[in-house]
Structures are given as structure tokens and as C-alpha cells.
């Protein structure tokens, strides 16, 4: 992979320098109070290199990813702006890409987005004018070719480090590596994966990634989510599509006394990070502590990921 950075992204600089990267996540509030973001930022700061700002995750209306990213930058942190294909057509997407870049955002994650039927406006009309692979191609073309999808020239190209998500556990398993290959061909530069609980199965996927040489074309960050409780583990195993939670982990959480389950969930997350660091082709981890931002620092510390590098 090229060591020359194409953007001002701190995340890109860390990854291209060969250091093990750490990203986190910050969910915007269901309101217009910027203090909610600022408080989360104080909990997350210095515990990762960049932080995803989710875009109406689970199809629920929240403060916009771009506005939340700007608030995060005011706190001295690097955001990863997310954009889902569900809510915008190609005109709005390209407009927001320009707007985000103009405001100083350096990273973007291209996502399809959860179907609106799962959210708070199930009768909303979805868009899906582009899919996530086409969105990757769009950003890459805008940045590297200086052209809009319609072919017109851009005056002042958006310098964004381009990411996407991948779920190694969704069925059918056989197409998961080829699907990543399509995103790589479209121009993605870093990948954050779905939460990893089944490390063995993830290792099989990574072997396929390495066998195809994809790890030399894209930076793969393994997703890690700590369980707060046995109830959360059971819910993720039974109710979240594309999630693979092995029975032995469920049993381990269930057999832990209730008051110690959160601690056990953190221990499992740390163990997962340590296993991922040993895996060929892994460039970093993406810690998703869902509405549990205060634990990201503890997880990073226990996993030996602190202090974060200065670039």
C-alpha cells in the first residue's frame, strides 16, 4: 500500500505509517443540544485516533453527522463522517461530501443504511439512489478525478479518506470476501467490520482476505463491542441481523454474577482485541461501546492501545 497520504486525515497518517490504529464511535443525540456531543467527546478524547459520527443509525432521527462532526472538531478530535444511501439521492450526497470537506472533515464512511422500517419513521420513503459501493466510487472520483458523477469538473476537490463497513458474518459466508473485493475495486481505503464475537469465524474471513492480497490494498479495522450484561449479549445474538455470538460467550456472560457482568464484558472485549492484534492483515480496531463511551478508555488501556501516537 502507498505510504503517501492523499488527505490531511490523522487516521490515514497512522495507518500508512504502519502503526496499529484505533477508531471509536459517537452517536449524535435525538435533539439539538450540542453539549451531548461535547460530553461524549470528553469521555472519548485521546482514547482513539478518530471517531465515527453515526448517520441516523437504526433509521432513527438524530442530529446530523456533519453538524456533530464539526462540534467534535471544536473539541480537538478527528471525526469520521458517516453517510448512508438510505436518505439522500446522488445530488444531496455530492453536496454533503463537498460541505463536509469544506468544513474540515477528513474522513468519510460509506454505508447503505438500515432499512427505515426498523426506525422511528417506518413509513418514510427511502432513496437508495446509489448503493454503498457506488457511493465509494463517487467519493473516489470526486477526490482523485475532480469530477462530479454527472461529468462536470469540481473546483476545489474534497480531500476525504474513504472508508466503508463490512460484515464477515452475514450469510452466505462464501460471498463476504468477494464483496470486500468489490469495495476495494471501487476505491475504499479503510474498512471497519461488524462487531466480532466469533473470533474463529472472523479468522477464516481474514484468511480469505489475505489469500486474495486484499489486506495490501485496504486497511482492515476489526470491530469490537463490549457486552454490558448477559441480556445485551442475548439480545445481540437473537435480534440483531448478521451478528454471530457463540454459545460459549453467552454461557460465560450468563454464568457471571449480575453485578460483575459489565466487567466480564470488558474483559472479553480486551481479549478479542489481543487476538485480533495477532492476526495477519489486521491494521487496527474499531471500538463500538454503544452508549457506553466512558468505558472506551478502560478497554484501550487494558488492551495496551494507549497512549495513542501523535502524528
What is the model's pLDDT at position 250?
97
Averaged pLDDT for residues 147-175: 97
Examine the pLDDT at 150 and tell me if it is beyond 80.
yes
Please give the residue that has the higher pLDDT: either 143 or 118: 143
- How large is the average pLDDT for residues 31-56? 97
User: pLDDT tens digits for 250-300?
Assistant: 999 999 999 999 999 999 999 999 999 999 999 999 999 988 999 999 999
pLDDT over 90 at 153, yes or no: yes
DSSP state of 155: S
Q: Which residue did the predictor score with more confidence, 84 or 116?
A: 84
**pLDDT tens string 183-223:** 999 999 999 999 999 999 999 999 999 999 999 999 999 99
Predicted pLDDT at 164: 98
Q: How far apart are CA 37 and CA 28, in angstroms?
A: 6
Name the β-bridge partners of 164: 110, 191
> For residue 310, what pLDDT is reported?
92
- Mean pLDDT, to the nearest integer, of 161-165? 98
pLDDT of 24 reads 98
Q: Could you tell me if 198 and 233 are in contact, meaning their C-beta atoms sit under 8 angstroms apart?
A: no
Q: What is the mean pLDDT of the chain?
A: 97
Smallest CA-to-CA distance from 101 within 8, 218, 3 is with 8
Strand pairing partners for 286? 23, 223
Cα–Cα distance between 16 and 3 in angstroms, integer?
A: 5
Any idea where the domains of the chain sit in the sequence? 10-302
Name every residue whose Cβ is closer than 8 Å to that of residue 176 and which is 6 or more positions away in sequence: 166, 167, 168, 169, 170, 205, 208
Is the CA virtual torsion 91, 92, 96, 97 positive or negative?
negative
CA gap 167, 194 in Å, rounded? 5
pTM for the full model? Answer: 0.97
Q: Which CATH number fits domain 10-302: 3.20.20.220, 3.30.1110.20, 3.20.20.70, 3.40.50.1970?
A: 3.20.20.220
Over 90: is that where the pLDDT of 78 sits?
A: yes
Please tell me the distance from the alpha carbon of residue 252 to that of residue 231, in angstroms, as a whole number: 12
Say how far apart CA 225 and CA 264 lie, in whole Å. 12
Q: What average pLDDT does this structure show over 43-59?
A: 96
* CA 77/CA 23 separation, integer angstroms: 11
Amino acid at each position: 500500500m502507498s505510504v503517501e497520504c492523499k488527505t490531511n486525515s490523522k487516521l490515514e497518517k497512522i495507518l500508512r505509517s504502519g502503526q496499529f490504529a484505533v477508531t471509536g464511535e459517537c452517536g449524535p443525540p435525538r435533539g439539538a443540544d450540542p453539549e451531548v456531543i461535547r460530553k461524549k467527546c470528553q469521555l472519548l478524547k485521546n482514547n482513539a485516533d478518530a471517531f465515527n459520527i453515526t448517520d441516523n443509525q437504526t433509521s432513527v432521527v438524530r442530529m446530523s453527522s456533519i453538524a456533530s462532526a464539526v462540534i467534535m472538531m471544536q473539541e480537538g478530535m478527528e471525526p469520521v463522517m458517516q453517510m448512508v444511501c438510505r436518505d439522500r439521492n446522488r445530488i444531496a450526497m455530492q453536496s454533503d461530501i463537498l460541505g463536509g470537506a469544506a468544513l474540515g472533515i477528513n474522513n468519510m464512511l460509506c454505508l447503505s443504511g438500515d432499512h427505515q422500517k426498523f426506525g422511528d419513521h417506518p413509513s418514510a420513503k427511502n432513496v437508495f439512489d446509489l448503493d454503498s459501493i457506488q457511493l465509494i466510487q463517487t467519493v473516489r472520483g470526486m477526490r482523485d478525478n475532480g469530477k462530479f458523477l454527472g461529468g462536470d469538473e469540481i473546483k476545489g476537490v474534497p480531500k476525504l479518506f474513504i472508508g466503508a463497513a463490512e460484515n464477515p458474518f452475514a450469510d452466505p459466508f462464501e460471498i463476504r470476501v468477494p464483496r470486500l473485493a468489490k469495495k476495494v475495486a471501487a476505491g475504499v481505503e479503510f474498512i471497519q467490520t461488524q462487531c466480532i464475537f466469533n473470533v474463529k469465524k472472523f479468522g477464516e474471513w481474514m484468511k480469505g482476505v489475505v489469500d486474495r492480497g486484499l489486506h495490501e490494498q485496504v486497511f482492515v479495522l476489526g470491530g469490537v463491542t463490549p457486552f454490558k450484561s448477559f441480556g445485551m449479549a442475548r439480545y445481540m445474538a437473537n435480534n440483531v441481523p448478521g451478528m454471530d455470538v457463540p454459545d460459549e460467550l453467552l454461557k460465560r456472560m450468563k454464568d457471571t454474577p449480575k453485578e460483575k457482568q459489565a466487567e466480564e464484558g470488558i474483559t472479553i472485549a480486551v481479549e478479542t482485541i489481543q487476538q485480533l492484534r495477532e492476526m495477519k492483515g489486521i491494521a487496527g480496531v474499531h471500538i463500538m461501546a454503544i452508549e457506553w463511551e466512558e468505558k472506551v478508555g478502560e478497554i484501550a488501556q487494558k488492551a495496551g492501545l494507549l497512549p495513542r501516537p501523535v502524528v
